[in-house]
Amino acid sequence: MRLPPLLHAVVGSVMLFTSQISHGQSTLKLPDLGTSALQVLPIEKEQAIGDVMMMQIASQLPLVQDPVLDEYLTSLGNRLVANANDVRFGFEFFWINNPAINAFAFYGGHVGVHTGLIAQSDNESQLASVLGHEVAHVTQRHLARRMQHAKDNSALTLAGMIAGILTTIVAPDAGIAILSANSTQAQLGQLSHSRKAEQEADRFGMQTLYEAGFDPSQSSEFLSKLSAQIRYKTKPPAFLLTHPLPDSRVSDVRLRAQQFEPRYVPASLKFELAKSRVLARYQFESIQAQSYFENQLRLNTSELHQLALEYGLALSLLDQNKLEQSQVLLDKLLKHDENNLFYLDAYTDLLIAQQRPEQATKLLQLKHEFRPNNQVLTLNLANAAIEAKQLNMAEKLLKLFLLEKPKHALAKDLLLKVYKEQDDKAAYHEMHASLLAQYGAYLKAADEIQRALNHTDDKESVKEARLKALLSQYRQMQKELAKL
């Protein structure tokens, strides 16, 4: 599904926090190294800090709002979390549109993944090895333990450390430069994962990788790829700015992987399709993407890779408005697998581009009946319904979806389009306020609620009371945010 960019409100500067936030093998016996962190940062506070940081990141970084890629990443991430040790809360995985090889995790189970990571991964086990590593950083509470270390050694204030971590996550070069001006090298080391933390994350992450059914040897293969890049570049990949990679680490990971029985993991079509989607829509311009996929199709003979490359080519053609050529490929792919979410999403875009949204709604309604809670089908159906002027259907779909996923920005953006088409100004401004508040722009959200009140009928006393309560809530939330 191709949607216009979401409204991004500015939350504020990075310096947001103050010291007030003050099987063939037997299972390895791994010590619980995360316990000491509980002394300085309780789980509830960690989650609260993580939520505020996520708000900050969502307002400043180009998050990828793509239901198909979100579905794939969440499924892969949850598969790893289900096999990890010491999981204390739910995880949230999200994409950032950035060609650099990078991934990061922070407080409360938030894991960000650059599109460049999957673009540079050769297989799903390599991608999963990085995600498993990041999950381990969270479950072993490495950031919280680093905060404890800083407190014990007076290296940094908690506020400075949190702000530095956030800055380093958002822009690694800027973060390190800012802190270099006022910090010793020892303090700088606090802002990237220590070698000990990396070893722990490697060990726990590889165990998780194996338990989840992936190939542990691909961990060392991916690190070797990163190590090779260092040799030919004066500037290291972004991932290595916060994840040190001494030569010994690659060999350590390789030796650790050899402790597990060799495992053959068949190629994953979903991984290949996700990679093709990233290459087509986030890594290359559409003309470049077309050339890339056409060249690769001449070189590859594997049926699975052929399907993924044809899918990528179909997307690149669709994005250039070469609709007939794209349809030939998508018809072939859907004939091969009529329920594939990647293909259905692209076919919806095609039908809308051909000004046939009614046909898209008919197709997706049949699929939606069997999988009513699937975000790809629901959001594509709602989008097609809006284009077909079936606004009541779209409104009902989106309201039900938001009951289950109340923070889903794309669903809110679509519902904004519905209310605008319906000329329901009160509902439009209320939903706009909800979206702004999600990015921490509480004052702007309060302004939107005031506008909603201006469009409320005198007879709508219940709605008026609810909106006034929201107005008070947003103003109070702005005060609370200012205290941090």
pLDDT value at residue 218: 92
Please enumerate, as own/partner, the contacts of 223-228 that have beta carbons within 8 Å and a separation of 24 or more. 223/249, 223/250, 223/253, 224/250, 225/120, 225/122, 226/101
Domain ranges across the chain: 35-257, 282-353, 423-484
Q: Could you report the per-residue pLDDT of 350-405, keeping only the tens digit for each?
A: 999 999 999 999 999 999 999 998 999 999 999 999 999 999 999 999 999 999 99
Q: Is 142 annotated as a binding residue?
A: no
pLDDT value at residue 56: 78
- The pLDDT confidence band at residue 232, using thresholds 50, 70 and 90, is low
**CA–CA dist 227, 231 (Å, integer):** 7
Mean pLDDT to the nearest integer, 82-88: 88
- As given in the structure block, the two tokens for residue 228 are 């090779």
pLDDT at 9 over 50: no
**CA–CA dist 240, 177 (Å, integer):** 15
Q: Is 133 annotated as a binding residue?
A: yes
Considering the chain, what is the average pLDDT of its residues? 82
Judged on CB neighbours under 10 Å (0-12, 13-18, 19+), 87 is: middle
pLDDT value at residue 190: 42
- As given in the structure block, the two tokens for residue 75 are 């499924």
Strand order in the sheet with 110-114: 92-96, 110-114, 103-106
Give the residue carrying structure tokens 């316990």.
35
- Cα-Cα-Cα-Cα dihedral of 247, 252, 254, 256, to 10°? -170
Amino acid at 52: V
Number of other CB atoms surrounding residue 302 within 10 Å: 11
pTM of the predicted model as reported, rounded to 2 decimal places? 0.84
**CA–CA dist 126, 220 (Å, integer):** 9
- The pLDDT confidence band at residue 28, using thresholds 50, 70 and 90, is very low
Q: Is 149 annotated as a binding residue?
A: no
* 17 alpha-carbon distance from chain centroid: 23
Nearest to 220 by CA among 251, 248, 241: 251
Are 177 and 194 a contacting pair, CB within 8 Å?
Answer: no
Cite the active site residues.
134, 202
Amino acid at 167: T
Q: For the residues of 389-446, what is the DSSP string, one character each?
A: T-HHHHHHHHHHHHHH-TT-HHHHHHHHHHHHHHT-HHHHHHHHHHHHHHTT-HHHHH
pLDDT at 246 over 80: no
CA dist 208 → 132, 136, 425 (Å): 6, 8, 50
Q: Could you report the per-residue pLDDT of 399-430, keeping only the tens digit for each?
A: 999 999 999 999 999 999 999 999 999 999 99
Highest-confidence range of 24-38, 200-214, 222-236, 411-425, by mean pLDDT?
A: 411-425
pLDDT value at residue 152: 52
- As given in the structure block, the two tokens for residue 337 are 């697998």
pLDDT value at residue 4: 55
Number of other CB atoms surrounding residue 447 within 10 Å: 17
pLDDT value at residue 39: 55
pLDDT value at residue 83: 95
Exposure of 90 in the CB half-sphere (CA atoms within 13 A): 4
